[in-house]
């Protein structure tokens, strides 16, 4: 309080030196920098205490962890051990992996598994969360109550118990493989060995077709943009979606035929003596064998007779070549039986010992295998017409299930539990998003005479999505992180694989750094996505 | 109503602003504002929205930081010196457009919190003074209510009592009636009028023409970050010097 | 399909009944609707047929009731005399064709699910605790006896029975405290019992210590004089700091209190320790629900202050270090970094190592971050980095880190019990999320509150203490309760790192020959306990929200 009379504008120069210095110290800017320096010193001291402890212990406990191949100690050799043989098998792999592969490869398998669960999880969670969020608002009392209890049940129990419950209580109490459940007659089977689902199998020509698909997508975009420009220029309305889709499917269809006509990688190994020169011949031979006039007549013949006459075909397990061939044989109505072998040489042995008449595989494999036969010249490799993508359905064969792809029980349980849990989180977000749209918006839309569909598409969805997507991305990130819970039921995700590696090699620190880096990359990807989205809607607001 | 005056100031010019400049990023909000105010003077600042009038009075208690020029309040220069800032803020009271009462405290707590913790008065003394001011703004019976339970006009009067209990020498009003319903404006203006008559130095940004004409010693018209015209109320309304002022007055007085 | 249903416009209720309008509303409105209804009809039909073969009587009853409901609606519509039941049915279950079909389908699914659960959990179940061995179990029924048989393990794990009374005492203590708090916070008594409430709050502050003594115990030992003096010094320093920031007033009473408090408490502590009444319990013996609750409460109690510090750091508005100061320091540090490892590039073996040998560039990157992203505010930079790092990794990584990395950070020969280690890991995790919750609360405070406090002359600490934090914390109470529920649920993750908490203890139970493989019963029981706990807490939080909401209005 300046109770003493002072000059209207006190000149700083008039002040004594010590007051001026004091003034400098009390300057907010100086105080800020000083405060932060104290803060840095405190942080550095804290980190140093932990760090020196750590360095001591690393010397004591971890010297062996930084050993180079030449026996020297160096921190740069921290990750050298990752190149040595892992020595453990991984049950669920997307790429080939054996226990002789290095740790790096095992880690890679783990990362891919983590990504697999995360990606499938996010897709399915989106579906379930949306359906359940809308169901919460359903005017059907029963449905909304069920959705409410679903959400409450999921949110109020630990995710880990849900995982255990689904794994031990649902998947592992399902029937054995030989009497797997087939819900509603759909081409899918549930057993305690996992879930068998239809799958797409790609032959080697798929790459050509995919190139065409990319082209088609570009064409679609070009058509879209060009029609849009024309609309702007001439004001002539056009159905951009329809025209674009026609262009897309034209090119995609063309690509399908081109890729199947151009490529010639699929082969069928037969003996010259069999008189088979092309697939069509099989029909004639079958008619001769059974004495039927027409292949349709086979249906009326005794089953055993047909089975005896059926062509015996060797194939390699889980190969697209088999599906590609059997699809065509089924079209021809020719009866056949497949014998599957793990490796090409086993199939060749079987073929050589005449357990089967033909051997289906890609031409390169067949050529290699033919040269191992006694008289290569007495065998022919026929070309089999190939389609780029084959739809493979699981079906029962004896006690086993063949075709399609099988999701292992651990994967199924983890995926299911994550989807159910995060589906409930997303359901609440979706519900809140829809409720956030004011009544006025709906009334305005109706007043403008929009149809119900238009109202949903043009008014409700775009606004609700703005509210839903940012927290939705958060849910996706949490889901991706919680794939690490797979370790509880033995799903070999990145975390579980690293844990095994840690136990085997004792390199705790290195692996923690690695794990953290991968998770941080995943988080970073999500936050980039979120920022991008937030920027985008901000722009739209202006 | 008779108001107790402010504690006396011993400087000739209680507010001195010289060539004040202020940028928000690229945008220059104040482009060299000069103003000198004598103790007890009442100044009303007028101007279109975005003219920098709010920014200017917020610079006077350093809610905004000016980047060029100097501001001396009651003999203390506003610089980066943290002691000066605290000292000036003790002597300068401000009333906001949105009242900014603390919703988690009762009216009485709202008023006494700063006197107790900043002025270091005892609770009893602070409460006594608070009740005196509440009585003077006419709502002593609301002392134990929460701000959310009061009307807008009552809230603004509480905000004034809160400011006045700190016994400031200078009062800054930042559009205190703009957020009020028309029937409540009068009760707030009455208080302001009486404050102006009891010797406070006041700088008010307001759109209340009647108030400006009645109590202002000087009217300042700002546009685009500059003072365009400075005049007595009489001359300002009847005989403005500048073309820009005439335009502004036409627009306002037409409707 | 529900989208269509739920968003259809309310039907116009005319005088007469119009068949065409009715069909258009329900079936032929759009081709999508037609397809949906037909598809639903087919699915429901086939499902009803399948169920009829399985459970003929129940299915018949359900279908009969359904038809009865529809008939009642038709009749009431024809005679324009809706009863309460038919109106409710029409509005809630049988709104349209599609909805009616859906209702039938869902009811049947529910009925068969409830039937299955009923059969398993009651009809075929065995409740006798003595009969849990495999030979007593029925194929399709629960063996509930395990819950009673394993009750000790489930509740307290491996804790010796002679210590059980301490757990009961702790439970009693908390219950009594809670009861008193409930009574004294009744609106009628709130003002009268002001002193009692302050005493109670003091007890709440002391409750962690009380619970520690009960559950962990104190070992005997000599009176630690230096420790006492240090304690007084630390408390005094905190007092002085708060006083210099003008957050607490100067008064002789509080100064004497500060000086006396620590020696007094320590002496009591020391006496209890040397009385031998509460000998130490090995924390590794804790288990079951006890361990779960210990972890969850410790985490919240520790994470809250840490989270608040982090949130304040992240939002701190100190004047940033100017660029002209950052860059020279950063460049100098970078150059210094290069001189410490001069041979790194020359001796690198591959591309990765070549890149790594330029590590001092990271200092420049950090400087860039401080300068551009945080405007020179290092406090905010450190806070933000910590929060974001923690939030980007899964909880289980931090728990493992607590356990596996502890030997790297602790002194030689020190072995810390596992529960403390997971509490540390979990607290780090939780504090980052807590910080974000509190930051949300801080951001929700209008700018005007800050300005008004500034204009009244409060300094930074006073502004936070008196104006901002009280409001922000009130806003984040639901989020904090949510965090507590999260900690309660997610503490089950410690079972993965080898602790025997409520979930983890089932590993030991199901490996006992008498209870071999009785997982499902345990999981169901645990799910019920977790559900009840979480549900009660979230309802309480909702109630609290309403109460607090009334306070400021």
Neighbours of chain B (3+ CB pairs under 8 A): A, C
- Give the best residue of B37, B81, B85 to mutate against chain A (max A CB count within 10 A): B81
Identity of the residue in C3, C392, C409 whose CB atom sits nearest the CB atom of A523: C392
pLDDT score of C400:
87
Q: Helices A206-234 and A240-262: crossing angle, nearest 10°?
A: 160
Nearest residue in C to A47, CA atom: C409
Helical axes C469-490 vs C288-314, angle rounded to 10° = 140
Nearest to A15 by CA among B20, B68, B73, B81: B81
* Location of structure tokens 């504090």: C431
Query: Please, which residues bridge with residue C501 across strands?
Result: C288
Q: What is the mean pLDDT of chain C?
A: 86
pTM of the model: 0.84
Q: Is A281 exposed, middle or buried (0-12, 13-18, 19+ CB in 10 A)?
A: middle
A347 by DSSP, 3-state: which? helix
**pLDDT of C16 higher than 70:** no
**Is 60 exceeded by the pLDDT of residue C40?**
yes
Q: Which residue has the higher pLDDT, C447 or A373?
A: C447
Distances (CA, A) of B163 to A12, B101, B140: 31, 11, 16
HSE-up of C211 (CA within 13 Å, CB side)? 21
Lowest mean pLDDT across A22-26, A166-170, C242-246, C466-470: A22-26
Do B231 and B240 contact (CB within 8 A), yes or no?
A: yes
Q: Which residue of A has its CA nearest to C344?
A: A76
Q: What is the number of other CB atoms lying within 10 angstroms of the CB of residue C522?
A: 24
Average per-residue pLDDT for chain A: 83
Best CA proximity match to C462, nearest among A414, A309, A92, B113: B113
pLDDT-derived band at A196, boundaries 50, 70, 90: confident
Average pLDDT, stretch A263-281?
80
Query: Of B170, B85, B143, nearest to C458 (Cα)?
Result: B85
- The contacts of residue B74 (CB under 8 Å, 6+ apart) are A2, B9, B11, B14, B15, B88, B91, B169, B170
Rounded Cα distance between A436 and A137, Å, is 13
Q: Which of A12-21, A386-395, B224-233, C172-181 has the lowest mean pLDDT?
A: A12-21
CB spacing of B100 vs C552 below 8 angstroms: no
Q: Where in chain C is the domain with CATH 1.10.3720.10?
A: 286-318+377-511+518-547
pLDDT given at position A541: 53
Across C294-317, average pLDDT: 92
In whole angstroms, give the CA distance from residue C304 to residue C295.
14
Share of chain A above pLDDT 90, in %: 22
pLDDT surpasses 60 at C6: no
Spatial separation of the C-alpha atoms in residues C341 and C359, rounded to whole Å:
10
The alpha helices in chain B, defined as continuous H runs, are 53-60, 82-91, 107-117, 123-136, 152-165, 182-197, 209-215, 233-238, 243-254
C456–B102: do the CB atoms touch at under 8 Å? Answer: no
* pLDDT of res. C296: 92
pLDDT given at position C9: 42
If you write DSSP's letter for every residue of A123-180 in order, what string do you get? HHHHHHHHHHHHHHT-SSHHHHHHHHHHHHHHHTS-HHHHHHIIIIIIGGGSPPGGG-
CA A41 to chain centre: 46
Q: Is the dihedral of CA A161, A167, A170, A172 positive or negative?
A: negative
pLDDT band, residue C474 (cuts 50/70/90): confident
Distance from C-alpha of B37 to C-alpha of B217, rounded to nearest angstrom: 10
Whether C428 has a pLDDT exceeding 90, the answer reads: yes
Whether the per-residue pLDDT at C140 is higher than 60: the answer is yes
**Higher-confidence residue: B218 or A261?**
B218
Nearest CB to C7 within list A56, A161, A452: A452
Q: Is A93 left (phi over 0), alpha (psi -120 to 50) or beta?
A: beta
**pLDDT tens-digit map of A149-170:** 999 999 999 999 999 999 998 8
Q: What radius of gyration, in Å, describes the C-alpha atoms of chain A?
A: 33
What distance lies between CA A386 and its chain's CA centroid?
26
Q: Reply yes or no on whether the pLDDT at C549 is more than 70.
A: no
pLDDT tens per residue, range B208-249: 888 888 889 999 999 999 999 998 988 888 888 888 888 888
The continuous run of DSSP H or E covering A400 comes out as strand A400-402
Architecture of domain C286-318+377-511+518-547: Orthogonal Bundle (1.10)
- In this complex, do B75 and A1 lie within 8 Å of one another by their Cβ atoms? no
Judge contact between B175 and B206, C-beta under 8 A.
yes
Residues with Cβ < 8 Å from A367, sequence gap 6 or more? Answer: A267, A381
pLDDT band at residue A7 under the 50/70/90 scheme: very low
ipTM, 2 dp:
0.91
The percentage of residues in chain A with a pLDDT greater than 70, rounded to a whole number, is 94
Q: CA A360 → CA A203, A452, C271, C470, distances in Å?
A: 13, 54, 86, 76
Supply the pLDDT for residue C4: 43
The residue of chain C with its CA nearest to that of B60 is C455
Q: How far apart are CA C248 and CA C373, in angstroms?
A: 35
Indicate the pLDDT class of residue A463, thresholds 50, 70 and 90. Answer: confident
Q: Answer yes or no: are the C-beta atoms of A4 and B8 closer than 8 Å.
A: no
Q: Which residues in chain C touch residue B86, judged by CB atoms under 8 angstroms apart?
A: 457, 459
- Identify which of B63, B100, B117 has the shortest CB distance to residue C466: B117
Q: What tens digit of pLDDT does each residue of C17-35 get? A: 677 777 777 777 777 778 8
| Min Cα–Cα distance to chain B from C449, Å | 6
- For range A52-61, the mean pLDDT: 74
Residue of B nearest to C247 (CA): B117
Whether C349 contacts chain B with CB within 8 A: no
**A340 closest CA partner among A267, A272, A400:** A400
Average pLDDT, integer, range C324-347: 86
Whether B174 contacts B206, CB under 8 Å: no
Sign of CA dihedral C94, C99, C101, C102: negative
Q: Which residues of A touch B82 (CB under 8 A)?
A: 26-28, 31
Give percent helix, percent strand, percent coil of chain B, each to the nearest 5. Answer: 40, 25, 35
Distance CA C45, CA C40 (A): 8
Minimum distance, in Å, between the CA of residue B181 and any CA atom of chain A: 26
**CB of C527 within 8 Å of any CB in chain A?**
yes
What is the pLDDT at residue A539? 63
**What single DSSP character describes residue C139?**
T
Out of A29-33, B23-27, B85-89, C491-495, least confident range: A29-33
Mean pLDDT for C113-132 is: 88
- Candidate from A498-502, C130-134, C525-529 with smallest mean pLDDT: C130-134
pLDDT greater at residue C79 or residue C270:
C270
Decide: C155 and C290 in contact? Cβ < 8 Å: yes
Arithmetic mean of pLDDT, A429-434: 90
Per-residue model confidence as pLDDT tens digits over A91-134: 877 777 888 888 989 999 999 999 999 999 999 999 999 999 98
Quote the Cα angle for B228-B232-B234, to 5°: 115
According to the model, what pLDDT value does residue A440 have? 82
- Distance between CA atoms of B129 and A50, rounded to whole angstroms? 55
- Residue C364: pLDDT band (50, 70, 90) is very high
Cβ-proximal residues to A477 (8 Å cutoff; 6+ apart), any chain? A522, A523, A526, A527
> What's the pLDDT tens digit per position in A199-220?
888 877 888 888 999 999 998 8
Among the ranges given (A156-170, A523-537, B99-113), the one the predictor scored with the smallest mean pLDDT: A523-537
B235/A16: higher pLDDT: B235
pLDDT band for position C490 (cuts 50, 70, 90): very high
CB contact set of A217 (below 8 Å; sequence gap of 6+) = A248
Give the C-alpha separation, C240 to C255, whole Å.
9
Give me the residue label for tokens 């006798």. C128
Q: Which residues contact B50 (CB under 8 A, 6 or more apart)?
A: none
Residues in C touching A446 (Cβ below 8 Å):
9
A386 or A160: whose pLDDT is higher? Answer: A160
Residue whose C-alpha is closest to residue B102's, from C166, C57, C388, C470? C470
Q: What share of chain A is helix, strand, coil (3-state, %, to 5)?
A: 65, 10, 25
Using pLDDT thresholds of 50, 70 and 90, give the confidence band for residue C201.
confident
């Amino acid at each position: 309080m300046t109770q003493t009379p002072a000059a209207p504008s006190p000149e700083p120069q008039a002040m004594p030196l010590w007051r001026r210095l004091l003034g400098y110290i009390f300057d907010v800017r100086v105080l800020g920098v000083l405060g932060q320096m104290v803060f840095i010193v405190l942080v550095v001291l804290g980190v140093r205490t932990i760090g020196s402890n750590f360095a001591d212990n690393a010397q004591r406990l971890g010297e062996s962890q930084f050993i180079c191949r030449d026996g020297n100690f160096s921190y740069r050799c921290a990750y050298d051990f990752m190149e040595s043989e892992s020595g453990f098998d991984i049950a669920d792999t997307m790429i080939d992996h054996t226990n002789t592969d290095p740790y790096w490869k095992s880690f890679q398998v783990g990362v891919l598994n983590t990504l697999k669960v995360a990606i499938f999880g996010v897709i399915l969670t989106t579906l379930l969360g949306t359906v359940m969020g809308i169901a919460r608002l359903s005017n059907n009392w029963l449905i909304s109550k069920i959705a409410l209890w679903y959400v409450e049940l999921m949110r109020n129990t630990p995710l880990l118990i849900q995982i255990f419950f689904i794994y031990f209580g649902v998947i592992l109490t399902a029937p054995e493989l030989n009497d797997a459940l087939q819900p509603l007659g759909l081409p899918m089977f549930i057993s305690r060995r996992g879930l068998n689902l239809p799958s797409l199998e790609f032959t080697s020509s798929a790459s050509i077709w995919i190139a065409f698909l990319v082209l088609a997508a570009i064409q679609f975009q070009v058509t879209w943009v060009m029609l849009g420009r024309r609309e702007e220029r001439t004001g002539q309305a056009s159905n951009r979606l329809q025209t674009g889709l026609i262009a897309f499917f034209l090119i995609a269809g063309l690509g399908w035929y081109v890729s199947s006509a151009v490529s010639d990688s699929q082969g069928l190994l037969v003996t010259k003596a069999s008189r088979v020169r092309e697939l069509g011949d099989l029909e004639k031979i079958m008619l001769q064998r059974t004495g039927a006039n027409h292949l349709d007549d086979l249906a009326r013949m005794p089953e055993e007779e047909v089975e005896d006459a059926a062509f015996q075909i060797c194939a390699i397990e889980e190969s697209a070549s088999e599906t590609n061939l059997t699809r065509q044989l089924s079209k021809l109505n020719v009866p056949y039986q497949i014998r599957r072998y793990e490796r090409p040489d086993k199939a060749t042995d079987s073929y050589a010992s005449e357990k089967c008449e033909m051997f289906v595989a890609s031409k390169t494999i067949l050529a290699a295998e033919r040269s191992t036969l006694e008289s290569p010249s007495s065998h022919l490799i026929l070309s089999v017409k190939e389609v780029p993508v084959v739809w493979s359905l699981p079906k029962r064969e004896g006690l086993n299930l063949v075709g399609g792809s099988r999701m292992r029980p651990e994967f199924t349980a983890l995926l299911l539990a994550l989807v159910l849990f995060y589906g409930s989180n997303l359901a609440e977000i979706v519900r809140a998003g829809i409720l956030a749209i004011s009544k006025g918006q709906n009334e305005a839309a109706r007043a403008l005479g929009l149809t119900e569909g238009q109202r949903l598409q043009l008014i409700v969805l775009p606004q609700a999505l703005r509210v839903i997507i940012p927290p939705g991305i958060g849910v996706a990130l949490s889901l991706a992180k919680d794939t690490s819970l797979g370790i509880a039921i033995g799903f070999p995700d990145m975390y579980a694989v690293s844990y095994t590696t840690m136990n085997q090699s004792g390199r705790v620190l290195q692996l923690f750094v690695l794990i953290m880096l991968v998770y941080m990359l995943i988080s970073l990807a999500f936050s980039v996505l979120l920022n991008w989205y937030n920027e985008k809607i901000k722009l739209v607001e202006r | 109503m008779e108001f107790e005056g402010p504690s006396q100031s011993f400087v000739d010019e209680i507010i001195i602003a010289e060539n004040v400049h202020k940028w928000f990023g690229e945008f220059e909000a104040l482009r060299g504002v000069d103003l000198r105010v004598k103790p007890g003077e009442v100044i009303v600042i007028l101007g279109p929205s975005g003219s920098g009038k709010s920014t200017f009075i917020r610079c006077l208690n350093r809610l905004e930081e000016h980047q060029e020029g100097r501001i001396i309040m009651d003999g203390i220069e506003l610089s980066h010196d943290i002691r000066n800032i605290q000292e000036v803020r003790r002597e300068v009271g401000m009333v906001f457009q949105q009242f900014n009462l603390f919703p988690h405290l009762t009216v009485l707590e709202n008023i006494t919190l700063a006197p107790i913790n900043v002025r270091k008065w005892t609770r009893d003394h602070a409460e006594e003074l608070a009740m005196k001011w509440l009585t003077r703004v006419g709502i002593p019976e609301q002392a134990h209510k929460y701000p959310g339970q009061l009307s807008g006009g009552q809230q603004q009067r509480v905000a004034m009592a809160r400011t006045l209990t700190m016994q400031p020498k200078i009062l800054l009003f930042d559009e205190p009636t703009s957020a009020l319903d028309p029937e409540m404006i009068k009760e707030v203006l009455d208080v302001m009028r009486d404050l102006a008559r009891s010797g406070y130095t006041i700088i008010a940004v307001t759109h209340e023409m009647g108030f400006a004409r009645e109590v202002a010693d000087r009217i300042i018209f700002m546009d685009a970050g500059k003072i365009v015209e400075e005049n007595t109320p009489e001359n300002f309304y009847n005989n403005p010097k500048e073309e820009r002022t005439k335009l502004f007055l036409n627009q306002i007085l037409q409707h | 399909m529900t989208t269509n249903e739920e968003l259809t416009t309310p039907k116009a209720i005319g005088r007469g009944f119009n068949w065409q309008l009715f069909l258009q509303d329900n079936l032929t409105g759009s081709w999508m609707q037609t397809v949906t209804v037909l598809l639903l009809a087919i699915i429901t039909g086939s499902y009803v047929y399948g169920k009829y073969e399985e459970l003929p009587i129940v299915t018949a009853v359900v279908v009969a009731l359904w038809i009865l409901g529809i008939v009642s609606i038709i009749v009431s519509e024809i005679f324009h005399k809706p009863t309460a039941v038919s109106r409710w049915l029409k509005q809630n279950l049988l709104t349209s064709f599609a909805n009616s079909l859906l209702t039938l389908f869902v009811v049947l699914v529910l009925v068969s699910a409830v039937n299955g659960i009923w059969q398993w959990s009651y009809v075929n179940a065995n409740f006798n605790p003595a009969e849990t061995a495999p030979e007593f179990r029925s194929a399709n029924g629960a063996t509930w006896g395990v819950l009673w048989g394993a009750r000790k393990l489930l509740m307290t794990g491996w804790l010796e029975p002679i210590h059980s009374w301490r757990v009961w005492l702790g439970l009693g203590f908390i219950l009594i405290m809670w009861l008193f708090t409930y009574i004294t916070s009744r609106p009628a008594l709130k003002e009268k019992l002001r002193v009692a409430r302050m005493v109670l709050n003091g007890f709440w502050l002391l409750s962690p210590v009380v619970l520690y003594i009960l559950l962990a115990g104190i070992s005997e030992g000599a009176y630690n004089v230096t420790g006492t003096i240090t304690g007084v010094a630390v408390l005094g320093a905190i007092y002085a700091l708060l006083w210099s920031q003008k957050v607490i007033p100067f008064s002789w009473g509080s100064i004497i209190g500060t000086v006396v408090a620590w020696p007094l408490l320590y002496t009591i502590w020391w006496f209890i320790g040397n009385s031998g009444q509460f000998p130490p319990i090995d924390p590794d013996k804790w288990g079951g629900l006890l361990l779960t609750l210990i972890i969850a409460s410790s985490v919240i109690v520790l994470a809250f202050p840490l989270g608040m510090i982090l949130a304040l750091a992240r939002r701190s508005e100190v004047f940033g270090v100017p660029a002209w100061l950052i860059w020279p320091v950063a460049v100098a540090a970078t150059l210094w970094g290069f001189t410490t490892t001069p041979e790194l590039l020359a001796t690198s073996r591959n591309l990765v190592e070549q890149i790594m040998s330029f590590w001092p560039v990271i200092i420049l990157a950090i400087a860039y971050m401080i300068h551009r992203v945080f405007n020179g505010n290092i406090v905010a930079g450190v806070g933000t980095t910590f929060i974001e790092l923690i939030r980007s990794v899964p909880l289980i990584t931090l728990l493992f880190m607590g356990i596996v990395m502890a030997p790297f950070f602790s002194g030689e020969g020190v072995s810390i019990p596992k529960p403390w280690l997971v509490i540390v890991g979990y607290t780090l995790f939780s504090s980052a999320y807590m910080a974000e919750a509190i930051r949300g609360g801080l951001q929700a405070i209008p700018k005007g509150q800050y300005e008004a406090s500034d204009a009244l002359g409060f300094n930074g600490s006073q502004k936070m203490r008196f104006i901002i934090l009280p409001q922000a914390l009130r806003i984040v109470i639901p989020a904090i309760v949510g965090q507590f529920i999260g900690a309660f649920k997610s503490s089950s993750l410690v079972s993965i790192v080898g602790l025997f908490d409520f979930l983890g203890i089932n590993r030991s139970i199901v490996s006992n020959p008498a209870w071999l493989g009785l997982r499902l019963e345990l999981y169901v029981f645990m799910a019920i306990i977790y559900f009840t706990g979480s549900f009660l807490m979230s309802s309480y939080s909702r109630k609290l929200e309403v109460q607090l909401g009334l306070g400021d209005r």
